[in-house]
């Protein structure tokens, strides 16, 4: 079953990259973004421009393909680390330091590790799924992007370590127009932004059951709240990680979703709202955040809190909440 999940993730990443690939930001900003490792070293990609090639490996502790590739990553670092700057970049979504350090210890990883706490580095390189490999030659050109520890990746690492990679073709994605979500279409009313992932419930079911249950509970609760508090300006915002229109439609059908739901194809909305935990529910009033929650294990208490926040910020009343909500128990 794990091999099936791995295959599904690779297929989704490949198809989504082809359909939605876009540069995340301009070159100047990419090379000025500060990167801080767990050991406390801070640098920018610009520090290595014209001096050394860089290998960025984006990963997550709960990503099964990432875990399978850890031995390859450590071996590559031991083989090419003297000639190439290696950085294992944890994407910082649904993570904690204890789990990250435990994973590093489990696989004996000794290369520099950074956490993309802001999400800006992932966005800059248009990261839409892990594992994600990015190679930058010493002239500052991205010469490889991919989701597999492939022979092509190994060949390019060998060339870059021998300073022979300056003739490698650029691997920049093509530009495509993206449409921003209209989050203020009902000006003056309290807005509810529900940040979610279409894969959290099934992909994390065995490896992170607590996270999986939280995702399931959250969507069921939001479905009920959408009917119970109709005056809220509801908008579901799906992470672009491993998600295209096909995955979004399947998710809508699975949970019989009636509230508005769209993919944050650019990643800007997640970035602007500093969302690093999935799911997250945010209430805003006239553009100002008034409430945020990531724990959906107690739907009754959470519902009462949301109603109180809504009532405090508006003169509208809510409907009577149903006496029972079918949620997954922890």
Identify the sign of the CA torsion 61, 247, 126, 291: negative
Q: Picking from 44-48, 149-153, 317-321, which range would have the lowest pLDDT averaged per residue?
A: 317-321
Identify the structural domains of the chain with CATH numbers, from first to last.
2-161 (3.40.30.10), 190-312 (3.40.30.10)
Q: Are strands 233-238 and 190-196 parallel, antiparallel or unpaired?
A: parallel
pLDDT for the residue numbered 172: 52
The two tokens of residue 85 are 């700057």
Q: Model confidence at 14, in pLDDT bands (50, 70, 90)?
A: very low
Q: Are strands 233-238 and 132-136 parallel, antiparallel or unpaired?
A: unpaired
pLDDT for the residue numbered 231: 87
Average pLDDT in the 59-66 region? 97
Which residue's structure tokens are 């989704």?
12
pLDDT for the residue numbered 166: 55
Q: What is the 3-state secondary structure (H, E, C) of the chain?
A: CHHHHHHHHHHHHHHHHHHHCCCCCCHHHHHHCCEEECCCCEECHHHHCCCCEEEEEEECCCCHHHHHHHHHHHHHHHHHCCCEEEEEEECCCCCCHHHHHHHHHHHCCCCCEEECCCCHHHHHCCCCCCCEEEEECCCCCEEEEECCCCHHHHHHHHHHHCCCCCCCCCCCCCCCCCCCCCCCCCCCCEEEEEEECCCHHHHCCCCCHHHHHHHHHHHHHHHHHHHHCCCCEEEEEECCCCCCHHHHHHHHHHHCCCCCEEECCCCHHHHHCCCCCCCEEEEEECCEEEEEECCCCCHHHHHHHHHHHHHHCCCCCCCCCCCCCCCCCC
- Is a pLDDT exceeding 90 seen at residue 274? yes
pLDDT tens, residue by residue, 144-197: 999 999 999 999 999 999 876 555 666 655 444 444 566 655 556 899 999 999
- How many angstroms separate the first and last alpha carbons of the chain? 23
pLDDT for the residue numbered 9: 46
pLDDT for the residue numbered 273: 96
Q: Picking from 168-182, 186-200, 210-224, 233-247, which range would have the lowest pLDDT averaged per residue?
A: 168-182
pLDDT tens, residue by residue, 83-138: 999 999 999 999 999 999 999 999 999 999 999 999 999 999 999 999 999 999 99
């Amino acid at each position: 079953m794990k091999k099936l999940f791995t295959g599904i993730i690779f297929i989704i990443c490949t198809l989504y990259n082809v359909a939605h690939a876009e540069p995340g930001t301009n070159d100047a900003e990419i090379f000025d973004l500060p990167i801080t490792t767990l050991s406390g070293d801070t640098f920018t990609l610009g520090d290595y421009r014209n001096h050394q090639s860089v290998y960025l490996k984006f990963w997550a502790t709960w990503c099964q393909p990432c875990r399978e590739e850890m031995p390859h990553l450590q071996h590559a670092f031991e083989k090419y680390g003297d000639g190439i700057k290696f950085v294992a970049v944890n994407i910082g979504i649904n993570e904690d330091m204890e789990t990250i350090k435990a994973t590093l210890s489990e696989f004996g990883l000794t290369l520099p590790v950074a956490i993309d706490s802001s999400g800006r580095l992932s966005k800059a390189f248009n990261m839409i799924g892990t594992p994600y490999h990015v190679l930058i030659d010493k002239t500052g050109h991205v010469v490889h992007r991919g989701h597999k520890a492939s022979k092509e990746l190994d060949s390019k690492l060998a060339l870059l370590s021998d300073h022979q990679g300056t003739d490698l073709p650029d691997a920049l994605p093509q530009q495509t127009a993206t449409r921003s979500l209209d989050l203020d279409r009902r000006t003056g009313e309290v807005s509810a932004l529900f940040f979610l992932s279409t894969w959290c419930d099934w992909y994390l079911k065995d490896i992170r059951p607590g996270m999986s249950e939280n995702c399931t509970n959250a969507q069921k609760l939001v479905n009920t709240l959408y009917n119970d508090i109709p005056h809220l300006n509801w908008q579901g915002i799906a992470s672009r990680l491993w998600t295209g229109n096909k995955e979004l439609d399947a998710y809508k059908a699975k949970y019989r979703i009636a509230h508005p739901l769209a993919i944050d194809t650019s990643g800007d909305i997640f970035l602007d709202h500093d969302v690093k935990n999935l799911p997250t529910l945010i209430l805003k009033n006239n553009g100002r955040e008034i409430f945020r929650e990531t724990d959906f294990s107690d739907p009754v208490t959470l519902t009462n809190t949301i109603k109180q926040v809504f009532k405090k910020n508006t003169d509208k009343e809510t409907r009577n909440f149903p006496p029972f909500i079918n949620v997954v128990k922890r």
